[in-house]
Amino acid sequence: MAHHKTPLLDKITSLDVLRALPESQLQALAGEVRDEMISAVSQTGGHLGAGLGVVELTVALHHVFNTPEDRVIWDVGHQAYPHKILTGRRDRINTLRQTDGLSGFTKRSESEFDPFGAGHSSTSISAGYGMAVGRDLLRRNNHVIAVIGDGAMSAGMAYEAMNNAGADNSNLIVILNDNDMSIAQPVGALSSYLSNLITSKPYQSIRGIMKEVASRFPSEIEQTARRAHSLAKEIVGAQSLFSQLGFFHIGPVDGHDMSQLLPVLKNLRDGEVTGPILVHVVTEKGKGHPFSGPNHEKYHAVPKFDVITGEQIKPASNVPNYTSVFAQELIKKADADDKIVAITAAMPSGTGIDKFQKAHPRKSFDVGIAEQHAVTFAAGLATEGLKPFVAIYSTFLQRGYDQLVHDVAIQNLPVRFVIDRAGLVGADGATHGGVFDLAFLSCLPNMMIMCPSDEAELVHMMETAAHYEDGPSALRFPRGEGQGVLLPDEARALAIGKGRIVQDGSDVAILSLGTILDEAQKAATQLSAKGVSVTLADARFAKPFDKDMIAKLVQNHRALLIVEEGSPGGFSAHVLQYLANAGLLSSDCAIRVAPIADAYIDHDSRPGQLAKAGIDAPALVTHIEEMVAIKTPKKKSQE
């Protein structure tokens, strides 16, 4: 599988073997795990940076603690690839994010070593606190360890959990994996000494610890003393925040140095300190990655690449993706309109807001992993007459739903939600699938929802959103490339709630919402080859939808199929309600709906996911054939 030798890793057939290894070999083992992970991700693509940053920490945790009885919860799960390599999944690591392969996140059904499934961030402390309370109620005595990144600590939920666990004085270990801050060598050595001191003796106060540390320095080494003083202040600063929440604060500890990690973890295992503890571990995201040159998001997620050269293997394409078309249009709109502002929740490059940031730094806001705050912040901006565009992945917008209802929709504020990654998302699977937004938005009064069928439509819908002031609006589009159509020279605002007929036919009709029109067109082509004349309609708007157009489709065809890349309960459900109440569910026109199947669709290729969801072209053809009972003529070659 790889260009690297892994003599130590080859021996790790179980964690008993890992725990029996002498500590002197653990640093070398970590190096082998790092090579193995780089090799695997080079073949599959995936989240690279986060896992590379926690290799030593992963080895140390499994060496010191008795997992899976001791629970280790990896926040988000991006950082769990090394954990998967060590916990019996090494032979399948090159199936990461592939059809029927390992998940890109932790998953309870995949391994007993994954106590909690995590596709979204900042959940580990809440879940860990639940496990700790469960342990105490059931009178068990295992450890619970939540590993959370500094990015995930920007979410309110992490503090809600800490506040709760801290007040309860529960035995819970939180490891803050901080790859944002770097500490100079002497300071690092001092802080590790300090962490050891804190965890091995019952010091009651920070002042007592500082006195002990100060006494170790000859007074003439003024520079070191000054460094020690500033570090002490830094630690006391962080200490005061976490201690206010009821946590005992240890660190910073160098997360790549076994001689610092192991003593602290062993002290915690052996109960030298009890209650809620926060260990501040400093790591380098992407440590040891094979790429040259700097990168701000440090190889968070990468396509396949060559292990030797680090060259990324991207399929060549001249077709722009939906995200970049959105970003270009937003920049143009903001050039012409001072009131347009953009908001993202920690996903600037994923949503295209990084491009907007360069063009309009003062009008761009990244609020961190805080979707609830992002939505209400946008509502506040809208009250002052600004035009906020809130760019959030569909699956992450779920976290801001209460704010969307109360703070935006009930007050009818013109906040524009730009919903990226709407629909199925391939290798990221069910946790990132944006399949519920049509259902949870369509039920809100006054919500206007647009779904472009291609990138040219997206341009017109951006123009429509920019001028729409009657209330909240949403614009949803999928991950990935557009259809390859020409972009219009001039954007025009669309008539709200009006669809369009893409292709006229006389026999059956397909009503499609959004980019699934591509599959509907393939189905129409296959049906016309069988002599069935198909009308193809593009709804454009999920709400309000084009009642006149839909009534005509029912009145003029013998079958109507409604297709959407969203869960049951969305667009087609509302269309059916309208048809029923308008008395149009007559026997003259057979009507069926094809939303995504009522199931969580696992990671797969996009065609594979569409097939599992029952909305690819062959599935649509089958629906229509069944509705009109068309007999498919056998091919001569088969007779």
Nearest to 24 by CA among 8, 4, 6, 35: 8
The tokens for 77 are 């799960």
CA-CA distance, 599 to 206, in Å (whole number)? Answer: 53
CA-CA distance, 124 to 116, in Å (whole number)? Answer: 8
Does residue 472 have a cis peptide bond before it, meaning omega lies within 30 degrees of 0?
no
Residues near 152 by Cβ (< 8 Å), separated by ≥ 6? 75, 76, 121, 122, 124, 158, 369
Nearest to 555 by CA among 521, 510, 589, 505: 589
Secondary structure (3-state) at 508: strand
Nearest to 476 by CA among 549, 378, 542: 542
The tokens for 68 are 């899976």
Residue 29 sits at φ, ψ, to 5 deg, of -60, -40
Task: Identify whether the C-beta of residue 538 lies closer than 8 Å to the C-beta of residue 502.
Answer: yes
Place of tokens 């991207």: 314
Residues near 425 by Cβ (< 8 Å), separated by ≥ 6? 432, 433, 434, 478, 479
What's the one-letter identity of residue 634?
K
Task: Identify whether the C-beta of residue 517 lies closer than 8 Å to the C-beta of residue 486.
Answer: no
Secondary structure (3-state) at 569: coil
Residue 251, phi-psi category: left (phi > 0), alpha (psi -120 to 50), beta (remainder): left
**Residues 70, 76, 78, 84, Cα dihedral to 10°:** 20
Q: What's the 3-state SS for 584-635?
A: CCCCCCEEEEECCCCCCCCCCCHHHHHHHHCCCHHHHHHHHHHHHCCCCCCC
Could you say which of 371, 455, 519, 564 is catalytic?
Answer: 371
Could you say which of 399, 476, 543, 612 is catalytic?
Answer: 399
Query: How many Cβ atoms sit within 10 Å of the Cβ of residue 324?
Result: 14
- In the residue annotation, 285 being an active-site residue is answered as yes
What's the one-letter identity of residue 3?
H
Secondary structure (3-state) at 233: helix
CA-CA distance, 211 to 215, in Å (whole number)? Answer: 6
The tokens for 43 are 């073949």
What's the one-letter identity of residue 83?
H
Place of tokens 């068990």: 140
Residue 124 sits at φ, ψ, to 5 deg, of -65, -35
- In the residue annotation, 399 being an active-site residue is answered as yes
CB crowding 232-265: b at 16 or more within 10 Å, else e: beebeebbeebeebbbbbbbbbbbbbbebbbbbb
The two beta strands, 448-450 and 541-543, are: antiparallel
Could you say which of 135, 285, 287, 387 is catalytic?
Answer: 285
Place of tokens 């202040």: 233
- In the residue annotation, 84 being an active-site residue is answered as no
Please name the helix (run of DSSP H) or strand (run of DSSP E) that holds residue 248, with its range, or none.
strand 248-254
Helix/strand/coil percentages in the chain, nearest 5: 45, 15, 40
Beta bridge partners of 476: 419
- The vertex-207 CA angle with 206 and 209, nearest 5°, equals 65
Catalytic residues: 285, 371, 399
